[in-house]
Chains A and B, each alone.
Chain A
Amino acid sequence: MIRMSHLYKTYLKTWPALKDINVTINDREFLFLTGPSGAGKTTFLKLIYGEERPTRGELYVLGKRVRKMSHRQRALLRQKIGVVFQDFKLILTKTVYENMALAANVVGLSPSVAHKRILEALSDLHMSHKIKTPVYQLSGGEQQRTAIARALVTSPRLLLADEPTGNLDPSLSSTIMDLLKQINAQGTTVIMATHDYHLVGRYPFRTIEIDGGRIRD
């Protein structure tokens, strides 16, 4: 599903954020990505969904070579990936529903299917009551759940979640974890970045620890 070999990412030609990464992530896997702040977790995910391009090395995502993708190819790849961004990346002036409908429409879901999925996803995340609320009126945790709901609404083959529990109380956190587990069981590959070691310890999934841009064994 994803293969990285001798992958480097250097911002601003200075200190590399990722160094010599060699990882293979299998289909249907659930993977934790841990490490201290600034370790390079977000960078790792950004390379996968193509927001950043690798400086050196090879990267294959869903069987496609990422390095020389056109804008359009990258867009089509992104349509198969659900991403929960660390900073949510929601359109603040639009409502929860509109934000999700946009993502659903981009991948070409019909309005009726989209509507059904949006309602389902919001109910899974206990957000149904905020469906018509503009995002700027939501709390941090509510925004985070909206971001998760948006990533799920397209039923992606690959889900990248960057600190999806960062703003949530423990009970909501475990609700989210249960949801991610369930989605993974239904066949979606999940990569979740977190620095919550306690949370990671409670699940039996493979964990990759990044520190200073390198993978620690």
Chain B
Amino acid sequence: MTRFFFLIKMGLKNIVRHRRTSWPLVLSLFILISINLGILLARGNINLALNLFTSHARIEVILEKGLSSEAVSQLISSLKEESLTEIRSMTYRDETENLNAFASQDETLAEAVALLGENPLPPTLTIQCVMAMESLPHISSFAQNLKKKEGVSEVIYPGGWFARLYQMARGADVFFLILLGALFLVTFILWVSIFKATLYPLRDEIEIMEIVGGTKLYIRTPFYLESFFYALLSLAGALALLRFLFDSLRDYFPDLRFLTTEELLPAGVLIILLALLGTEKAINRFFK
């Protein structure tokens, strides 16, 4: 235990001692971590925007003209029987309501409508639904069935469009993941080489610790501690920067969401793990 405390003290002293050589390490790590976390943030918000967007999807069902109200309520109850969880609500509007809604958009339209002898609009049923990626097939088949129902003349369903949107989003996601992976790799390689450079002036120190009988673990401990501190420092710096950028962006996009704990925790752990592993790799070079 006393050995361990001594090593902690030594690690802390080393941090102070190496402050001149360690700042490029911290700075480059800070930049890389900022980019990493920035990508993570962008990815999270794209998904958020997508969810927001797709949870307000609509299926417009155009009904046959002159459909009786019994037929309409029969249709609605038959749809309700299918009890699709994605459906949030259904709104029925008859011919007159549709015409009024149409006329109320604009004064000239209102005048035009007044000139019409007969209402050309059909009654409609609007189905609000959540179009999450996984529910797309359900809704698709639901819409197909809808077309075959009695009293339905047309179904306007943006399924293909959503499918394409999801494809794009998934492509972006994969791209982001690859980018993240590549950046983490770069971070690791950079960390190893900079740490090696930081350790180079300390090779005598390492040799001496080795020669007075220090085991590998013993010698590494203060350096682990040091790099843990640097990683933490860079991480904190990157988070502060990101938070600042985020707050200024939020003035324009109030719906932006910051990194969640589920995103932040693994990323933080990974970065610290990376730092320790990099330290290990760098320091192994100096053992005889």
Contacts and interface: CB of A to CB of B under 8 A. Distances in A.
Interface of A: 49, 51, 71-72, 75-81, 83, 85, 89-93, 101-103, 105-111, 150
A71 B213 contact: no
Contacts of B215: 71-72, 75-76
Interface residues of B, number: 22
B208 A108 contact: no
Nearest to A150: B212
16 contacts: A49-B211, A51-B288, A76-B215, A78-B213, A79-B213, A80-B213, A81-B213, A89-B207, A92-B204, A93-B17, A102-B208, A103-B213, A105-B3, A106-B209, A107-B213, A150-B212
B287 interface: yes
B208 A106 contact: no
Contacts of B288: 51
A188 to B, nearest CB: 16
A105 B6 contact: yes
Contacts of A79: 212-213
B210 interface: yes
Interface in B1-27: 2-3, 5-7, 10, 17
B216 A83 contact: no
Nearest to B7: A105
B184 to A, nearest CB: 30
A38 B51 CA distance: 79
Given A89-B207, A91-B204, A106 B212 contact: yes
Given A51-B211, A76-B213, A106 B218 contact: yes
Interface string B192-234: 0000000000001101111111111010000000000000000
B211 A89 contact: yes
Interface string B164-202: 000000000000000000000000000000000000000
A13 B249 CA distance: 68
A79 B288 CA distance: 17
Contacts of B17: 93
Contacts of A51: 211, 288
Contact of B214 (A75, A101, A150): A75
Nearest to A104: B6
Contacts of B204: 89, 91-92
A71 B216 contact: yes
Contacts of A78: 211-213
